[in-house]
A and B are shown apart, each in its own frame.
Chain A
Amino acid sequence: MIPALLLIPTLAALLAFVLPSVRGRRVTLVSSALAHLVITGLCWIRRPVPALSGWLSLDPAGLLFLSIASLLFTTAAIYTVGSLRDESPERIPSSREDDFFFSPESENVFIGCLLLFLAAMTAVTLCQHFGLLWVAVEATTLASAPLIYFHRSPRSLEATWKYLMICSVGIALALVGNYCLTAALAIDGGADVSMTVSELMRQGTSFNKLWLKASFLFFLVGYGTKMGLAPLHTWLPDAHSEAPSAVSSLLSGALLNCAFLSLYRIHQVCDAAGLGLFTQDLFRLFGILSMGVATLFLLSQSDYKRMLAYSSVEHMGILSLGMGLGPLGLFGALWHSLNHSLSKSFLFLTAGNLLTFYKTKSTRQIRGILKKFPITGILWMAGFFAITGTPPFGTFFSEFTILKAILEQGRIGLTFLYLGFLALAFIGMSRIFLNMSQGEPDETVPSANARKEPWIRVLPPLILAGLSLLLGFYLPEGLMRVLQEASRYIPG
């Protein structure tokens, strides 16, 4: 099954690059996304056999993130078909003044890169070999850069350049981490072993500590840049806000997780080598710093897509913090990554609908969404509750688990910071969300026809919102087991 998972999106991408018919390309996109989703579903029933002598295999954490990526990609693919139709050149005359809807030049490249992006993310979740993992992570950057530039506006050009440059430099540093890891094994005349996670964990404490620490630091800076941990997050708000909304939802919901997974893998190795406390300290530090920085920018935000992007930085901070808190914290972090992905991606898809309806990203110009576009309005409000961790959404329970992990370790200062930042983020975002949703629609602001919400653009976020709500009420047995296996958390 592993070859199929990689080959389906890759071959579909090649097909999309050459297919001349618009309909054919869109059918390819959606059908390959569905096929990928079905195979991912089958992996839950029976784990696939490892490929390439164990370099590619699906462990519990990989399965979790593969499923997230596959699910989000399918919804984003359906949504993309809708948005490409709405933005096709016949419907909207391209004009230089209108910042948002430049006529997109080639849909071929867009759909092709979208599918390659899925292939690269799939590869990240499957890679057990650190060298190959690096190749896959860099490939996600390269496949997604053209997606951000889809609208061909100066703003998206700027965002793309920053994304490409900062992430490439960051990931290049992770390569230094790879080499240091090799050196850490070889320095004391260690055995010539394969650089896979399981092999390295079996080495136990035979690593050279100094080189392993250096290696971890380079990995943390490298993949941390990709994950958007402050202060390495500067590219993130630009890229996530300028990309087409379906792409933003994938960048925030699926790609950041891939970077998190890479850090999780090196953390596993360091933990087995007896450096667990060292890595946990750093994860906590970067985590709380990211939460703080993101909250600061959330409080004074006037662009709703940027607000969602900063919220992603905040949530990546929560994940990093959870990883720095031992098994229970890691359990909470992995669970939270699922909840965050579902909530954030339906918020970005809804934001894309708002952008199509109102043609502005300014929070001040939009009023009374609930009255004018009822379904979108409800989604927007539901998203607000989901992303700020309000019960009954799943985010509440995973954030609470992480709080429990902090308290169990008796870290009082950290508790105050964690709760304080969460509360401040809630206040900052409530101001924006409530103002946009409630009140009377401002008729002076031009907007699309009221009560005309095409199902193809409303259904994908509705599905994700439903799942996100469901996870608050019910955590399936199989999912629970995967989370426990991945975090080695044994509930006592």
Chain B
Amino acid sequence: MTIDILWILFIVSNFFLLGSSRLHTYIRVISLQGFLLSVLPWFSEGPVSGHIVAMSLINGSTKGILFPWLLSQAIRRAEVRREIEPFIGYGSSLFIGLLGLLTSFWIGNRLIPPTATSVFTAAMALFTLFVGLFLIMSRRKAITQALGYLVMENGISILGMALLQHDPVVVELGILLDAFAAIFVMGIIMFHINQEFDHMDTDRLNQLKD
């Protein structure tokens, strides 16, 4: 198995996110991405160190299991199932995703990370980052925005995983702890939005403007 299979799975999962409306699908795809991420450092050259094993296990369990579980709890409490009427439709979203993929490859070909085993690392990181940002901007529900944030984090982690040798464990753990706290606080605020407005559509959050 080569690393390219991982990249193909990343691309497919990202397009799945752009075209889907069911929130449970989102969560499963994000969980899959989390597991893919944890496999990524195994492809790096050199001997498998304890550091790689530990980080891969911790990343897999948080991004693959813990975060998706936290968000599925939030969905259950809020009793929403699907994203309704996004600001940008699913067809257009897929098309924009395709443009994003091309742009990511174009930029990624100029920025090839030195220690990465694959030339596509930067392109994949950028594409996943782009999909996450796009979901945050184009979807209506607070929960979908939080999911988009998670996708974006995954994209950033691709870059981090590729350069893993250089990051001390304390920092890695700090980053994961922050991500965990972010999802946790977002979950609480979502709960309050749901209670306050009886739904989680962020376009009703429109009182504050000039």
Contacts and interface: CB of A to CB of B under 8 A. Distances in A.
Interface stretch (B12-20, B30-38, B173-181): B173-181
B171 A297 contact: no
Most buried by B among A129, A142, A180: A142
Interface string A380-420: 00000000000000000000000000000000000000000
Contact of B152 (A129, A169, A214): A169
B111 A210 contact: yes
B178 A135 contact: yes
Given A131-B171, A179-B159, A157 B189 contact: yes
B79 interface: no
Interface string B189-210: 1001100110000100111101
Interface residues of B, number: 43
Interface string B148-166: 0100110010011001001
Interface string A144-159: 0110010010110111
Nearest to B136: A169
A242 B205 CA distance: 13
B11 interface: no
B168 A131 contact: yes
A259 to B, nearest CB: 16
A189 B133 CA distance: 33
**SS class of chain B's interface: helix, strand, loop or mixed?**
helix
Contacts of A154: 196-197, 207
B145 interface: yes
Nearest to A184: B114
Given A158-B205, A186-B166, A175 B189 contact: no
B177 A162 contact: no
B86 to A, nearest CB: 16
Contact of A187 (B114, B168, B188): B114
B153 A157 contact: no
A297 B192 CA distance: 30
A161 B189 contact: yes
B88 interface: no
Given A158-B207, A301-B210, A183 B177 contact: no
Given A131-B174, A145-B189, A161 B205 contact: yes
A182 B114 CA distance: 10
The range of chain A's interface size is 35 or more
Most buried by B among A131, A188, A192: A131
Most buried by B among A155, A157, A161: A161
Contacts of A214: 111
B189 A164 contact: yes
Interface in A278-302: 297, 300-301
Contacts of B182: 138, 141-142, 164, 168
Contacts of A152: 192
B181 A142 contact: yes
Interface of A: 129, 131-132, 134-135, 138-139, 141-142, 145-146, 149, 152, 154-155, 157-162, 164-165, 168-169, 172, 175-176, 179-180, 182-183, 185-189, 192, 195, 208, 210-211, 214, 237-238, 241-242, 297, 300-301, 306
Interface of B: 110-111, 113-115, 125, 129, 133, 136, 142, 145, 149, 152-153, 156, 159-160, 163, 166-168, 170-171, 174-175, 177-178, 181-182, 185-186, 188-189, 192-193, 196-197, 202, 205-208, 210
26 contacts: A131-B170, A131-B174, A134-B174, A135-B171, A135-B178, A138-B178, A138-B182, A142-B181, A145-B185, A145-B189, A149-B192, A157-B192, A161-B142, A161-B189, A165-B149, A168-B186, A179-B159, A182-B163, A183-B163, A187-B114, A195-B166, A211-B111, A237-B208, A237-B210, A238-B208, A241-B208
